[in-house]
Amino acid sequence: MFSIYLLSYWKYIFWYAFFNILVIVIYFSVIIFGDSFFWNEDLFGLGMIFRLIFAFITHTIIGFIFALYKSFKLREDEKST
């Protein structure tokens, strides 16, 4: 949510949100439905739970770093004009 706030002045914010949701759906579906194809037997489902948590945290951190970078870039472009 904070990354959306940082990028609220960017004209491509809707594309950013769309592709963010698309990426989340793709790798969550790979983790949930491709479990037996990519990884070995997981009797208790703990591997899938930890992969989902790791994917969520990684996605959040990468999105936040991108939002910080783009926010600073937009401010620099605004000051130069």
Give pLDDT tens digits along the chain (81 positions).
678 778 888 888 888 889 989 999 998 888 888 766 666 777 777 888 888 899 999 999 999 999 999 888 888 887 776
Q: What is the pLDDT of residue 81?
A: 63
Q: What is the pLDDT of residue 54?
A: 92
Residues 6+ apart with CB under 8 A from 6: 67, 68, 70, 71
Judge whether 15 and 78 are in contact, CB under 8 Å. Answer: no
Q: Taking the domains of the chain in order of start, what are their residue ranges?
A: 1-80
Residue 3: burial class (beta carbons within 10 Å; 0-12, 13-18, 19+): buried
Distance CA(6)–CA(38), nearest Å, equals 36
Task: Look up the pTM and report it.
Answer: 0.75
Q: Give the closest residue to 30 by CA, choosing from 22, 1, 18.
A: 22
